[in-house]
Amino acid sequence: MSRARRPGAGPGSGRGWLLRLVIAFAFAQGAVSMARPAVSYRALALGADETAVGVIAGVYALLPLFAAVPLGRRTDHGRCAPLLPIGVVLISGGCALSGVVSSLPAMAAWSGVMGLGHLCFVIGAQSIVARQSAPAEQDRDFGHFTIGASLGQLGGPIAAGALISGESGALGRTSALALLVSAGVCAVALTSLWRIEHRRTPGAGPGVHKAADKVPVTRILGARGVPAGIFISMAVLSATDILTAYLPVVGEHRGIAPATVGLLLSLRAAATIACRLVMTPMLRLLGRTALLTTSCLLAGLLCAGMVLPVPVPALAVMLAALGFCLGAGQPLSMTTVVQAAPAEARSTALALRLTGNRLGQAAAPAAAGLIAGTAGAAAPFALLGALLLAAAGLGLRSGRTARTSVPPEPTSVPPEPTSVGPSEPTPVREREQDDSAPVADRKPS
């Protein structure tokens, strides 16, 4: 028999599952972060222009765009863990086959398979964190979870830059090697996918299956906080995605070596890790609304500044600051969506958030490719700046709406401290959260 859980302990009492999930996510995301610039370089070696690179980057998000909500519905009433190995297999296959094909349409297709695998892994992993973390610990746990992504984004570009070389016409061969290596890196994630999901977790079971099927998408999207969380997440991820796909193109135009580009991308990821490590004290100091708004505002200004032909040292400073500002958006948007959505449809809400992410990943690179083809390789960063500034405004507006519409303190808990009979533990820690937390989190269940 396993050890009995302490009475009143939250669903995330043991942290070993979270550590294993972070390790697996680091390898899976590392493979993707290694493969994305390698795909761009290999496409360039096969004769692609800036527009074609943007289209290939957009196809990465095409299959996930249609698969996210069905996968979320399935996860709402079932186990999440099976999605993780499926995602690893699809990512590995997409990376390996992108490295062996020699046509741009085939590269685009296998890039889409890679994106579908990443979606499967992320939906399963985020749903596990949402189910097994106490509400007051979700900001912290989602922040720790996304450290796995940042670790992968830190190591992946360095490895890609070390393997890829444009000297003596070797770009096509070395980029293919990087893609094959990334497939092996992703396969390592399978070694950490054991005992991650508790057998009995809130949100699983036939009762939830029946309830989740009745929650329409319009009701989930109508919950206060969900649209803002989706848009902010889309803007932040689009910035990270286009930065990964287009910094190699900018490097080629400005004469920056692939190894240096890899180091610059990894510097951005290291700054993102630093942000997530200090997120808890920043939340205490600023609050969720101020942190989201300020980080998106500064990130938008820094993205717009990437258009300037600055020297490499100045570019490194800008990327480090940009990485730090982009670090807060993803975990806080996850918590916002989870706490605002109906409890019986949280995986579907997370899937809708990922649908918004993939929509941004599909549309933003295509738009960036068109802009780059007419206005220059660095021009897409101006588009990202505008998108992040819009996200900052939406985050500020939603925070003000939440503050002005907070209902009176729930009275469902008896005021007498000595009530008869056992009762649910009072969520004292939830009251200490920022006043801009979604209203749905403040209502009695």
Could you tell me the end-to-end alpha-carbon distance of the chain, in angstroms, rounded to an integer?
32
Q: What token pair was written down for 379?
A: 């021009």
| Alpha-helical runs (H) found in 60-191 | 62-76, 83-100, 104-132, 138-163, 171-187
Q: What token pair was written down for 403?
A: 């503050």
Give residue 324's pLDDT: 92
The CA–CA distances, whole Å, from 445 to 46, 333, 402 equal 56, 21, 18
The pTM of this model reads 0.68
What is d(CA 245, CA 381) in angstroms, rounded to the nearest whole number? Answer: 11
What is d(CA 247, CA 36) in angstroms, rounded to the nearest whole number? Answer: 11
CA angle 186, 95, 57 (to 5 degrees): 115
The answer to whether 155 and 186 have CB atoms below 8 angstroms apart is: no
What is d(CA 329, CA 143) in angstroms, rounded to the nearest whole number? Answer: 10
The answer to whether 73 and 213 have CB atoms below 8 angstroms apart is: yes
Give residue 22's pLDDT: 92
| Alpha-helical runs (H) found in 255-406 | 258-277, 279-286, 288-305, 312-326, 329-340, 346-375, 380-404
Q: Which helix (H) or strand (E) holds 239?
A: helix 226-254
Q: What token pair was written down for 173?
A: 């061969």
Give the residue carrying structure tokens 């990465």: 60
The per-residue pLDDT string of the chain (445 residues; one tens digit each, 9 = 90 and over) reads 434 444 333 444 467 888 999 999 999 999 998 998 889 889 888 888 877 887 887 788 777 778 888 888 887 777 778 889 999 999 999 999 998 988 889 999 999 899 899 989 998 898 888 888 887 787 788 888 888 887 887 788 888 888 887 676 788 889 899 999 999 999 999 998 887 877 654 444 444 444 445 677 788 888 777 888 888 888 888 888 778 777 887 888 888 888 888 888 888 888 988 988 888 888 888 887 788 888 889 988 988 888 788 888 999 999 999 999 988 888 888 887 887 888 778 888 888 888 887 777 667 766 776 776 666 666 778 778 888 888 888 767 655 554 544 444 444 444 444 444 444 444 444 444 444 444 444 444 3
Give residue 235's pLDDT: 85
What is d(CA 161, CA 259) in angstroms, rounded to the nearest whole number? Answer: 4
Give residue 69's pLDDT: 82
Give residue 52's pLDDT: 85
Q: Which amino acid is at 161?
A: G
Beta carbons within 8 Å of 234's beta carbon, 6+ residues apart: 356, 357, 359, 360
